[in-house]
Amino acid sequence: MKRYFENYSLVELNTTFYQYPRLETVEGWREKAPQNFEFTVKAHQDISHKSKMRLDETSQKAFETMKQICKTLNAKILLIQTPGSFRPDKLNEAKKFFANVNREDLTLVWENRGPEWEKPEVVEKLKQVLSSLNVVHVTDPLRVLPAYTSQIAYFRLHGLGKELYYYQYTDEELRRLGEIARKFEAEDKTVYVFFNNLSMYEDGLRFMQYLSSGKFPKITGAVGLESVKSIIAKTRYPAPKSMLVKKVGWRLVEIEEGKQVRLADLLAELPSKTYKSADEILKELKAAKKLN
């Protein structure tokens, strides 16, 4: 927590999706954080998954608890994330919830999931509903732009790989993210960007350094074989190739100055066997003339 506070000024609180923390615990988080540190809060799944956005006794009680947590944290934004099973045919249910819940001065943001929400006719309908209710549409802007933003834009990045969260963003992807964020900022909007992937801590720092300096730090601090070594040396051996691909294949390495590749692409060229050490893998890569 100390390390995080030293490097970041914002966090989305996700533990509140799974359980209701005691207010004493929440007060402790606020007290430990710097004065200018901002929390946003993810609403409990009782609202989105149990009540399925119906305004019933369960969801109203959960919402009131979320409001109390937000007030304790001085949080201005409450996120509601519905599952993939909550499809566009249930949009009216969400509309009733947002229209009738007592949000007070909270800004509500909504992330819906599933490809059906990305169809043009659905996006248009979603835009009409959310703009009428002033509920911000949450998306990963590298996949799809939001149907509606108010005075804020709220982005959540889960990764672009086949498997959710197992992803590390390339410099080019972060550069594109910066361009998108600046377009919204040019419209006088406050842009919130949250990384929700396995390398989120590092990706967030790289993104902030790029925004402030226009340059990216080396993704592993090294180039070529040393870049690969910095990742695979932390793996426990012996390890079969298939396990290495699954465990660290999603990570990026810099094979030469300014050129990043997925580690899985390099490992794919190696024999399918169990490797006894990181040095054995490096030797195979060198023999295959993949890296120096």
CA distances from 50 to 45, 86, 133, 157, 199 (A): 6, 11, 23, 25, 30
Distance between CA atoms of 56 and 284, rounded to whole angstroms?
A: 61
- On whether the CB atoms of residues 16 and 66 are closer than 8 A, the answer is yes
Classified as helix, coil or strand, 163 is: coil
User: How sure is the predictor about 244, in pLDDT bands with cuts at 50, 70 and 90?
Assistant: very high
State pLDDT tens for residues 182-235: 999 999 999 999 999 999 999 999 999 999 999 999 999 999 999 999 999 999
CATH 3.20.20.410 maps onto the chain at 2-213
Torsion of CA 125, 163, 263, 168, to 10 degrees: 50
For the domain covering 2-213, report its CATH number: 3.20.20.410
Classified as helix, coil or strand, 90 is: helix
- pLDDT at residue 292 greater than cutoff 80: no
Q: Choose the weakest-confidence range: 56-70, 174-188, 258-272.
A: 258-272
Distance between CA atoms of 79 and 94, rounded to whole angstroms?
A: 13
- Short-list 100, 155, 149, CA closest to 126: 149
Quote the pLDDT of residue 258: 87
- On whether the CB atoms of residues 199 and 251 are closer than 8 A, the answer is yes
Quote the pLDDT of residue 196: 96
Q: Is the dihedral of CA 69, 73, 74, 75 positive or negative?
A: negative
- pTM of this structure: 0.95
Quote the pLDDT of residue 130: 98
State pLDDT tens for residues 105-143: 999 999 999 999 999 999 999 999 999 999 999 999 999
State pLDDT tens for residues 91-106: 999 999 999 999 999 9
Please identify which residue in the block is written with the tokens 């959540």: 156
User: How sure is the predictor about 290, in pLDDT bands with cuts at 50, 70 and 90?
Assistant: low
Per DSSP bridges, beta strands 107-111 and 77-81 are parallel
